[in-house]
A = this chain, B = another copy of it.
Amino acid sequence: MTKQEKENIAIVGAGPVGALLAVMLARKGYKIDLFESRPDSRAKALYQGKSINLALSDRGWLALKAIGLDEEIRRQAIPMTCRMIHALDGGLTRQPYGKDNQAIWSVSRAGINEQLITLAEQQAGVEVHFEHKLTGLDFNSGTCSFALSHQDAAREAAGASVDYTRELVFGADGTFSKVRRLAQELAGQRISYSMDYMPQTYIELTIPANSDGSFMMEKNALHIWPRKNFMLIALPNPDGSFTCTLFMDLQGEISFESLDEEHKVAVFFRQYFPDAVPLLTDPVATFMAKAPSPLCLVHIDPWVVNNKVALIGDAAHAMVPFYGQGMNCGFEDCRILSELVDKHEHDWPEILPAYQSARKENCDAIIELAKRNFVEMSDLAGDARFLLRKKIEAKFSEMYPELWIPLYSMVTFSPELPYAHALAIGEVQKEIMDEVMNSPDIEQNWQAESTYQLLYQLAQEKLTPNILAKALSNKEINTISDTREVKA
């Protein structure tokens, strides 16, 4: 196949990742069929996807910038520069996410998805097929079989199905990916996989806007009510409302199952979220009416089968939302893949293994980081010693920015730094900070010069020669300044 004869590509799943991938590949000259099982939400003013709040950050922006959609999306996004911690007594603590007003951005998943699908449709060579539900996939031939669920009653009654044979197939069909589950069934392919349900589940609640459209709480913050084993969070919407998410165990002492009567739920909200109760729209009725949604971790290895079918986004690496990286990571998959298409000059037998090798380890790292972050958000965020630790780190990072980027910033604001490096550096940082926090009277001495001398010495000793140097030598950390402009 010469470079003129580009492969025809099927993308299964027109969520944000599938649609972004379609745009990127179409612009490189590929003919793309983008399949989605749901109807077109734009036509019906009906969004049926998952509605959990999304925090877009620099990895996501970097990918959107690559297709020129960043400015348009930024106009409807709300920057959140800090966590706002709501204590039991209603007291508020502000924890900046980074420095110099670095922010994560509250966005509507539905909105981004629709913008990306519209952009995909505008590309030459892209055809979007809604109401096409994947039922089968031949991993040798690339033949995808779809059941049709068109409103066209005659076709549906006939159990209409249709096959498309494409040279490459991407499974961008999310956490419960059919492409992945079909791959898992393949005999003789040695495909390892796991699906882990977390004990935590969630429901969404709402804090409406004031009657004048203004926000009832600080607009530019991600609000958290950390209550150790459960938490409430709230993200601002452009209309002045907040979308809130209550994360709590499905089963156990305080859980969705144990809070099974209205009066218990009312007591629960008054006891743990006293300042939120007056703001929330019908929290008790909503709690009673909604079935909590699950949270899952997905691992699979390999991501690529027969150099013909590849997974991308949640289909390959579903994670929990506690680091706000799910969509950012999926967008990064697309950006890296796109770069590899150029680097390997459209040679897919080179591109696909390189894609897997570039992404697998990093996605495993962010899955792990996201899982761990529940504790940071729900428990430590309200802990005085944890806040002190963060303050010391922030101060040290300002003194020696080339020596220390806090883990949260590495993940969120350093889009060229691979997640796996962030995880590895973060573990050494933790060791170092454990030692610093154990020094005598740190509560009193935290601003003393000696504290930062100790930190400097430990960082020089443990961090520079090993991990950070390795990361730097890969030149993956040194484009951070370039990407800072993204958040301007």
Q: Interface residues, chain A, CB within 8 Å of chain B?
A: 176, 181, 184-185, 187, 190-197, 250, 294, 299
For the complex, give the distance between the alpha carbons of A299 and B190 in Å: 16
For the complex, give the distance between the alpha carbons of A190 and B187 in Å: 25
- Per assembly, the copies of the chain total 2
Tell me if A194 and B197 are in contact (CB < 8 A).
no
Report the minimum CB–CB distance from A50 to chain B (whole Å): 14
Point out the residues of chain B lying under 8 angstroms from A190, CB to CB. 197, 250, 294
Point out the residues of chain B lying under 8 angstroms from A294, CB to CB. 190
From the candidates B181, B187, B192, B299, name the one contacting A185 in the complex (CB within 8 A): B181
For the complex, give the distance between the alpha carbons of A380 and B190 in Å: 28
Report the minimum CB–CB distance from A99 to chain B (whole Å): 39
For the complex, give the distance between the alpha carbons of A195 and B191 in Å: 8
Tell me if A192 and B184 are in contact (CB < 8 A).
no
| Given A176-B187, A181-B184, A190-B250, 14 further pairs, Cβ under 8 A | A181-B185, A184-B195, A190-B197, A190-B294, A191-B195, A191-B197, A192-B194, A192-B195, A192-B196, A193-B194, A193-B195, A194-B194, A194-B195, A194-B196
Report the minimum CB–CB distance from A179 to chain B (whole Å): 14
Point out the residues of chain B lying under 8 angstroms from A185, CB to CB. 181
Point out the residues of chain B lying under 8 angstroms from A299, CB to CB. 194
Nearest neighbor of A196 in chain B, beta-carbon distance: B192
For the complex, give the distance between the alpha carbons of A190 and B256 in Å: 15
Report the minimum CB–CB distance from A319 to chain B (whole Å): 15
For the complex, give the distance between the alpha carbons of A191 and B176 in Å: 12
**4 smallest A-B Cβ distances: which pairs?**
A194-B194, A190-B197, A192-B196, A192-B197
Report the minimum CB–CB distance from A168 to chain B (whole Å): 25
Nearest neighbor of A296 in chain B, beta-carbon distance: B192
Report the minimum CB–CB distance from A38 to chain B (whole Å): 15
For the complex, give the distance between the alpha carbons of A123 and B299 in Å: 44
Report the minimum CB–CB distance from A182 to chain B (whole Å): 11
For the complex, give the distance between the alpha carbons of A394 and B190 in Å: 40
Point out the residues of chain B lying under 8 angstroms from A195, CB to CB. 184, 191-194
Nearest neighbor of A297 in chain B, beta-carbon distance: B192
Can you give 19 contacting A-B residue pairs, CB < 8 Å?
A176-B187, A181-B184, A181-B185, A184-B195, A190-B197, A190-B250, A190-B294, A191-B195, A191-B197, A192-B194, A192-B195, A192-B196, A192-B197, A193-B194, A193-B195, A194-B194, A194-B195, A194-B196, A194-B299
For the complex, give the distance between the alpha carbons of A176 and B187 in Å: 9
Report the minimum CB–CB distance from A313 to chain B (whole Å): 20
Report the minimum CB–CB distance from A48 to chain B (whole Å): 15
Nearest neighbor of A185 in chain B, beta-carbon distance: B181
For the complex, give the distance between the alpha carbons of A187 and B176 in Å: 9
Report the minimum CB–CB distance from A289 to chain B (whole Å): 17
Report the minimum CB–CB distance from A295 to chain B (whole Å): 10
